[in-house]
Amino acid sequence: MRTQPRLFLLVLALFAALLLSGGSEVRAQSHSAPLELLASGHIAIQVRLNGQGPYRMILDTGAPVTFISTRVARALKIVPPAGPNQPAPTALGFGGQTVLKSLAVGDTEQKDMPALILDHPIVEALGGVFGRLDGIVGFSFFSRFHTTIDYLNARVSFEPVDYKPEDIMAGMMSRLMKGMGGAQKARVIAPRSLWGLTITASAQNDGVVVNQVYARSAAAAAGFRPGDHITILDDRWTDTVNDLYEAASLIAPNQPVVVKVLRGTQEIVLTVRPRIGL
């Protein structure tokens, strides 16, 4: 397709225009608010935007971004920033990106929240049945909190934590570029600490088996033996060699870790304290 490179550039340019400016300052203590469980199983919460509202929005852990409807954007007098490549709102009321001064649920408030202006069709469809819905609260908000979703008691709570979501555009663009480009280099999975054993896939290819345990290593101290079949490392399944490396890549040195092994037919729980090294 001849137009594709140009179109791709345009898309990247639009991505760049949409770069999410990082939100900042959390002004909140821990807090809980009611949630409304719609008959469809969706969660609606009451949200104040820029001190106005409340608005009724869907809490969606599957949405990386936060959306507000064009209706709300108008009510809040948000005008998308003007620019040479800024056509009028298009399909689904897509009005580009904005930064809300504040998004608050109960007593929890997040300043400078990036949001997209969009009449999301699913929100519109649900709204048509369950009453007006004004948007989606996604990862860009809830990831900044220890978020608890309590379906049974119909409560949700957001306690601030020290986490700032990354710019989703960067990740998506690099992924798209990589996918469209030529050969990619394989990612290397690096253990974070030194255990002192070697492993191989089992002969039946049904898991990972210890080959060798180095003398005076952390693994030797923990009681690993050659032939041990490692099944779970720190709650993570180790069905494959890569699984085991992925799990080990998360284990900091000098931290006790529980490992489950099958020795013959016996399940044994070992605690290992891997060391600084490689």
Partner 1 sequence: MKRFPVLALFLLLVAGRCSAAPPPAEPAASKPGSVYHIPYRLEDAQHLLVRAKLNGKGPYNFIIDTGAPALYVGADIADKIGVKPAPDGWGVFDRLEVEGGAVLERVKARIESPAQLKGMNAMGLAGVRIDGVFGFNLLANFRIEIDMTQPKMTWTRQAGLNLTPMSASESANGKAVPTQGITQMESLTKMASALFAQKTPPPAPVPRGFFGMEFSSDKADTAQVAAVLAGSPAAKAGVKTRDKITALAIGGDPAADVQSAADLMKQAATVAAGTTVRFMVLRNGKKVTLTLIAGQGGI
Nearest distance from residue 165's CB to partner 1, in Å? Answer: 7
As a whole number of angstroms, the distance between CA 264 and CA 72 comes to 63
Helical ranges in 29-167 per DSSP H: 70-75, 121-130, 139-142
> In the set 189, 221, 262, 268, which binds partner 1 (CB under 8 A)?
189
Q: With CB under 8 A as the contact rule, which of the stretches 46-54, 74-82, 106-114, 168-176 interacts with partner 1?
A: 168-176
Hunting for tokens 């993570």 — which residue is that? 236
Please state the closest distance from residue 269 (CB atom) to partner 1, in A: 14
CA gap 106, 159 in Å, rounded: 11
Among the listed ranges 72-80, 99-107, 143-151, 263-271, the one in contact with partner 1 (CB under 8 A) is: 143-151
Torsion angle in degrees (nearest 10) through CA of 190, 195, 197, 203: -60
For residue 35, give the amino acid letter: L
Q: Which of residues 218-257 bind partner 1 (CB under 8 A)?
A: 234-237, 239, 241-242, 244-246, 248, 250, 253
Residues within window 95-114 making contact with partner 1, judged by CB under 8 A:
none
Q: How far apart are CA 34 and CA 28, in angstroms?
A: 17
> What is the distance between the alpha carbons of residues 156 and 34, in angstroms, rounded to a whole number?
6
Q: Which is nearer to partner 1, 52 or 174 (CB)?
A: 174
Nearer to partner 1, 1 or 52 (CB): 1
Q: Considering the rule CB under 8 A, would residue 202 count as an interface residue with partner 1? A: no
Q: Is 138 in the site for partner 1 (CB under 8 A)?
A: yes
Closest Cα to residue 123, out of 228, 43, 215, 31? 43
81 binds partner 1 (CB under 8 A): no
Binder of partner 1 out of 54, 166, 227, 271 (CB under 8 A): 166
If one asks whether residue 16 binds partner 1 (CB under 8 A), the answer comes out as: no
